[in-house]
Amino acid sequence: MTISEAIIRNAAALLNQGKLVAFPTETVYGLGADARNADAVAKIYTAKGRPSNNPLIVHIHSVEQIETYADLSMSWNPIVVKEWISKLAPLWPGPLSVVLPRGMAIAQNVSAGGSSVALRIPNHPLALELLKAFNGPIAAPSANPSNYVSPTTAQHVRDGLGERVDSVLDGGPCAVGLESTVVSLLQETPKVLRPGAITIEMLEAILGSRVEGPSSQKAVEGLTLHSPGLLAKHYSPRTKVVLRSSLSDSSQLPPRIGVLLFSSWKPQFPTVKTVALSSCGDLEEVAARLFGALRELDDAGLDLIVSDECEPIGLGEAIMDRLTRASHK
Ligand code: TXA
Ligand code: MG
């Protein structure tokens, strides 16, 4: 047995004992528990301080497992939904979660009071090895305290959750860097609840049908939310963040300003720290480094973080979605 096999086996054993294991995915690190074990799932909510009305994504290792952990017979149209799943199959493993009726095997608290489950196959060798060794569904939200910036390195997980997690698998920095696209297949028109690296345009092309965007959703306080990850304020650093377009000439600026830069923009005010995400405005590079940069600026003792912006098109939509939430007052 190699060292990595031993580590994976140990992590799978911890999950079997109802413990929490953080693991890398291509998007962000996840805080995993056995999705069939309600007590283990409850530990996730406690460790993150996550509101009990915010459902969790369940990770699996193969497309075949979708029918094991979702109950497609409860779909609005099982034949169409099966067709959609086979069309989406080439995108997995990858940064796409699909919301379907929850199967019997999945603990109820994964769905946070609802009857659906979000499923995805992560594209990271360690995550896939863990899923195969465990041979069951792993519920895993991002491995950060609720509302803080998602972790893209093992150190981010340790910084945020410390002793609250039983083990952290270190797979290096996450390649995508933004959480998966969440698409609901619960109704006649597929609906993106959270934008990500798999864009609406890509989904429309592969499904050959119209896909609704996230903007039409309104979160209602106190009810089970369609996707509470879409609450206006989310993913926020402690330091105040503003988008550069919302600064005016007359804005009163504090002394210690940091800038998150990803275009040729040149701020016309004094700054004490600048983090440049990509020298050529490459959005994939911006996405991969975004959360690490927000954490770096947040740790720099600044009064204000001013963020650059890009067109909200393609991957730019997910980037601007996260930055808009981070800057929500
Ligand atoms: O990339 C990702 O998706 C990462 C990695 C670890 O896989 N996970 C992640 O989980 O971002 P979390 O919990 O931070 O975000 C899950 C999002 C939330 O916006 C949640 O509301 C939504 O997915 N979600 C989960 N289950 C859902 C369901 N049954 N119906 C609607 N939305 C759901
Ligand atoms: Mg999260």
List pLDDT tens digits, range 31-41.
999 999 999 99
List pLDDT tens digits, range 150-160.
999 999 999 99
Residue 220 clears pLDDT 50, i.e. is over it? no
State residue 217's pLDDT score. Answer: 46
pLDDT band (50, 70, 90) for residue 328: confident
Nearest atom of ligand 1 to the alpha carbon of 144 = 14
Q: pTM of the full predicted structure?
A: 0.94
Residue 324, number of CB atoms within 10 A of its CB:
18
State residue 219's pLDDT score. Answer: 42
State residue 231's pLDDT score. Answer: 58
pLDDT band (50, 70, 90) for residue 307: very high
Nearest atom of ligand 1 to the alpha carbon of 112 = 29
Residue 68 clears pLDDT 90, i.e. is over it? yes
- For residues 46-69, average pLDDT: 97
- High-pLDDT (> 70) share of the chain, %: 94
- 250 C-alpha to ligand 1 centroid (Å): 39
List pLDDT tens digits, range 166-191.
999 999 999 999 999 999 999 999 99
Residue 224 clears pLDDT 50, i.e. is over it? no
Residue 90 clears pLDDT 70, i.e. is over it? yes
- 41 C-alpha to ligand 2 centroid (Å): 15
> Which of 70 and 232 is assigned the larger pLDDT?
70
State residue 213's pLDDT score. Answer: 92
Residue 120 clears pLDDT 70, i.e. is over it? yes
pLDDT band (50, 70, 90) for residue 248: confident
pLDDT band (50, 70, 90) for residue 218: very low
Residue 225 clears pLDDT 60, i.e. is over it? no
pLDDT band (50, 70, 90) for residue 227: low
- High-pLDDT (> 90) share of the chain, %: 88
| Mean residue pLDDT across the chain | 93
Residue 7 clears pLDDT 70, i.e. is over it? yes
Sorted by where each starts, the structural domains of the chain and their CATH numbers stand as 5-216 (3.90.870.10), 241-326 (3.40.50.11030)
State residue 214's pLDDT score. Answer: 84
Nearest atom of ligand 1 to the alpha carbon of 194 = 19
- 152 C-alpha to ligand 2 centroid (Å): 12
- For residues 201-228, average pLDDT: 70
Alpha-carbon distances, residue 269 vs 144, 173, 225, 248, 254 (angstroms): 33, 32, 40, 11, 10
Q: Which amino acids bring their CB within 6 angstroms of ligand 1?
A: 25, 27-28, 30, 54-57, 95, 97, 99, 111, 114, 116-118, 122, 140-142, 179-180, 182, 193-194, 226-229
Nearest atom of ligand 1 to the alpha carbon of 30 = 6
> Which of 280 and 296 is assigned the larger pLDDT?
296
